[in-house]
Structure 1
């Protein structure tokens, strides 16, 4: 194999992987779209199987804006879910923990020694 054979192999491999990414992106968008009827989804899939390049081009032209909006909406929802999870898992700030311990001390639920231990743990 010569240099040009390897070069063209790399170029064709790149285009094939790019095509697969577009194809899976379109299929993912089809099933993410809640407004599109199931029959239309099936029709798009059938055309993607039998006339893949033309169908991909038509899909990107006809539904590209909606595709971008659905993708952005999904990314925003995933970010919100991640942020919410991080806030829930992260716990309270040290000042919040000390304030809660002070309320427990005032209510007589814990002793002064326990309050001091909770305060030291929160500040560490």
Structure 2
């Protein structure tokens, strides 16, 4: 018989699923371990010696260290992550506002915002194309 055919008989489907389960649990373990290390270094309330102690525990006794960290500080992990995400979103929103506003803030809005409002007015049919052109020239000059 062919070598691949023998492999199919020696490695049943259940063993394949069992191997996949262990593989995914192994990946999950590393994701959890790295999240804990990131949370450990992101936490400003924890001192250097406490961080070093947790890190040594995570390296020397990883299962006990991860279990202890999640029990002792797991609730704070979620709060710190939410605060980090909130700060990133605020920084992004601030960047977008600054970028969209443009360099000229002289009359309550940027030229781009004024042109967008003017375009909306023309699209509604409230002004003619000639009025739009004149207003656009006034905004741009």
Q: TM-score scaled to structure 1, two decimals?
A: 0.74
User: What are the ranges of 5 or more consecutive residues in structure 2 without an aligned counterpart?
Assistant: 1-10, 102-109, 119-132
Q: Distance in 1 between matches of 2:88 and 2:98?
A: 15
Q: Deviations over 1:18-68 (max 9, x none)?
A: 111110110001101111111111111111111111111111111112211
How many residue pairs end up in the alignment? 106
Shift of 1:116: 4.3
Q: Per residue, is there more helix in 1 or in 2?
A: 1
Q: Distance in 2 between matches of 1:13 and 1:118?
A: 66
Alignment correspondent of 2:85 = 75
Residue of structure 2 aligned with 1:51, choices 53, 56, 61:
61
**What is the Cα-based RMSD across aligned positions, in Å?**
2.4
Q: TM-score scaled to structure 2, two decimals?
A: 0.66
